[in-house]
Structure 1
């Protein structure tokens, strides 16, 4: 498809525009767009900070929306099932062996059969749950917006243990770092600028370390694990690498407003309040830097083929070349994109702030 034909096709899609840089590349086509949330009362600027998970068995796109519904849509855009909750969603579900684990601000962690939507169990944490769960060793881990990490039995929903740090005085950044788990250890980040490594079985502390530079907002908003290294962002101004087993520092990169992380294609890619940085995983050297062109929301960047997809709020979904950081396209649905895209093979699902789900087929 020529650039002109692509621009005309996008313009024809209801409510969708694409701001194109010079010489746009034909990276995707919009397979369909489906509204899933209608206008809400007293809502001037809608926000969907959650995101989409793709079930590898059914191909369903599973996601929660600000009106309290969990949705599962088939690859053709039809509704497979839906579940009503009493809250909203700040992160995508985690899908493991045919079960979607969904943390909700109503305080409940839901376990749903991805094929049917049947509720298998729910655990009431009595705190707003705000992260994508992590699943390991028969346990589901989810972090609350009140700095508590909950460990719940994956089969029954029974509480196993929890680990809490006291919230610091003053303001914090809305949201929380998604926990990661592997090899008998679960790692968590907290709004007071600390990172903890805990025993999966009983929550015993393996190590704790403060990682945030001095500042007004110390929140650790993202952690990622890769081999021997644990990477973290601190909103007060740093991207850091630590030894995952000991917490000992490996390197630190100054980055004011550091928020989200993704690992891929030989780089640690960090999103700040104004920029996107690709850093060498071993030494923290800058590989490239790109302007964000928006503001990071609750969503995380993802790797899709040779591109990094970065949700930038009113700046839309930005397609960056992973090797160079060059912005190749910007998808703008008119209301912005703050949620985490879901990737399943050559298909990407994107939830707009206006409550429309877009299915993009990569070229």
Structure 2
């Protein structure tokens, strides 16, 4: 009997060791690579969503996370290049994990502990501030005179279980009375749901967002006083990814390792695809937001792989193992797809084939999505990101960098940053530090700018 027990114990130990070894191998080794083709589900024309009316670009230059509904992170209309001069600084008081949005002469900034700011884009002067007492890790979305912001659980922000309730808030940021324009900051309504870490997407009067309660939501927000639920769909696991939109379809990833395409009007699932990283009936997850361009869906996975799926069919067209964790959404520029990794690399791939074009080594992990601005790729490095993960996360200083989108050559640096790097309008670039937001103008325009907006400044 004793020998039998010893044998059973030895068998359990061996099985556990084998499982651990397999898990370690799975965590540390690259997943599959697959090369793509420019002749299969590749649209060579520029994404139609970039053709925004000029008047709308001037009024609402950066309305959403990722710039547009396709989340391309590439505002081709804005011509801003270094060297820069700083014109103002906003002290947010806590981490600014997701970038602000810009519209109607205001910059809307949300920090992690629930403070929400409306700042004059030209001067940095705070117009109003709200405090929602809930944690926030998402960018706002701008509608007509209303800005929408997502919130998670009440803080402390690491509170568990993760079933804490969250909400979407609709905030009236300006109104007219007797012909006079007022900046308000009035909360019109809150839509209660599970905690929301997904940056809301506003398209044609409908607000789309995911939630920790496993659902993707579509709210009709055309009526200012209250929203109407158009549909919600259970996707089987947490939805931290932010939805993207093109051609009547909404695309979103889940923590279950699945990518979904849904009919934007009805919520019907058109297709579902998965990551390579299946192991013992589990998958790593799509935290990153999809990027839509060239008839494809580009999305990074925590297994370290960038995937390209057909937007119409969901077929896997190519996959490239980029490094360790890929939390960043991709930016697209001239048939390049650009992402960052936790082991400290900014990598550009051919959008058609997935062939690597260039790789820029960064001093630390890259957590937030890169942004392309006038042919330069801006990214931030994160101090301490991924330090408790199972894969390598490069440790180093935080900062913001700009490299040439053609070859990855370093062009400009700034000694603050952490997550997402910059947003912009036609006059200014807004850089996101760890707890600050900065307004910049090109150095060549600094003197004229100060004379116009800061006449008392020397």
Q: Pick the TM interval, shorter chain.
A: 0.7 to 0.9
Distance 1:166 1:84, change over 3 A: same
Query: 2:438 aligns to what SS in structure 1?
Result: strand
1:10 aligned partner = none
Counterpart-to-counterpart distance in 1, 2:168 and 2:382: 26
Deviation at 1:359, TM superposition (A): 0.9
Residue of structure 2 aligned with 1:286, choices 356, 367, 373: 356
2:24 aligned partner = none
Counterpart-to-counterpart distance in 1, 2:264 and 2:399: 38
* TM-score, structure 1 normalization: 0.81
> Does the aligned pair in 1 maintain the 2:421–2:433 contact within 8 Å?
no
Counterpart-to-counterpart distance in 1, 2:314 and 2:89: 44
Counterpart-to-counterpart distance in 2, 1:362 and 1:255: 33
Deviation at 1:145, TM superposition (A): 3.9
Counterpart-to-counterpart distance in 1, 2:419 and 2:307: 24
Distance 1:350 1:212, change over 3 A: farther
Residue of structure 2 aligned with 1:53, choices 66, 76, 101: 101
Counterpart-to-counterpart distance in 1, 2:442 and 2:213: 38
> Does the aligned pair in 1 maintain the 2:277–2:283 contact within 8 Å?
no
1:3 aligned partner = none
> Does the aligned pair in 2 maintain the 1:61–1:342 contact within 8 Å?
no
Structure 2 unmatched ranges of 5 or more: 1-80, 154-165, 175-182, 384-397, 444-458
Deviation at 1:76, TM superposition (A): 0.1
1:4 aligned partner = none
> Does the aligned pair in 2 maintain the 1:262–1:302 contact within 8 Å?
yes
Q: Does residue 306 of the first structure (1) align with residue 375 of the second (2)? A: yes
Deviation at 1:194, TM superposition (A): 0.5
Cα displacement string for residues 128-167 of structure 1 (whole angstroms, at most 9, x for unaligned residues): 2112211223211112245432211122322222223333
Counterpart-to-counterpart distance in 2, 1:264 and 1:147: 32
Q: Does residue 93 of the first structure (1) align with residue 140 of the second (2)? A: yes
Q: Does residue 328 of the first structure (1) align with residue 397 of the second (2)? A: no
> Does the aligned pair in 1 maintain the 2:150–2:167 contact within 8 Å?
yes
- Could you list the runs of 4 or more consecutive aligned residues of structure 1 that deviate by over 6 angstroms after TM superposition? none
Counterpart-to-counterpart distance in 2, 1:350 and 1:146: 32
2:299 aligned partner = 232
> Does the aligned pair in 2 maintain the 1:137–1:184 contact within 8 Å?
no
Could you say which structure has the larger radius of gyration? 2
Counterpart-to-counterpart distance in 2, 1:339 and 1:254: 22
Q: Does residue 122 of the first structure (1) align with residue 190 of the second (2)? A: yes
1:158 aligned partner = 228
* TM-score, structure 2 normalization: 0.65
Counterpart-to-counterpart distance in 1, 2:276 and 2:300: 8
Counterpart-to-counterpart distance in 1, 2:423 and 2:82: 20
Q: When you count helix as a share of all residues, which structure comes out higher?
A: 2
Q: Does residue 140 of the first structure (1) align with residue 220 of the second (2)? A: no
1:277 aligned partner = 347
Query: 2:298 aligns to what SS in structure 1?
Result: strand
Distance 1:252 1:137, change over 3 A: same
Counterpart-to-counterpart distance in 1, 2:230 and 2:276: 29
2:92 aligned partner = 36
Query: 1:222 aligns to what SS in structure 2?
Result: coil
> Does the aligned pair in 2 maintain the 1:265–1:322 contact within 8 Å?
no
1:345 aligned partner = 426
Query: 1:135 aligns to what SS in structure 2?
Result: strand
> Does the aligned pair in 1 maintain the 2:428–2:440 contact within 8 Å?
yes
Deviation at 1:227, TM superposition (A): 3.5
After superposition, the CA RMSD in angstroms is 2.2
Deviation at 1:259, TM superposition (A): 2.1
Deviation at 1:195, TM superposition (A): 0.3
Counterpart-to-counterpart distance in 1, 2:352 and 2:346: 18
Q: Does residue 318 of the first structure (1) align with residue 366 of the second (2)? A: no
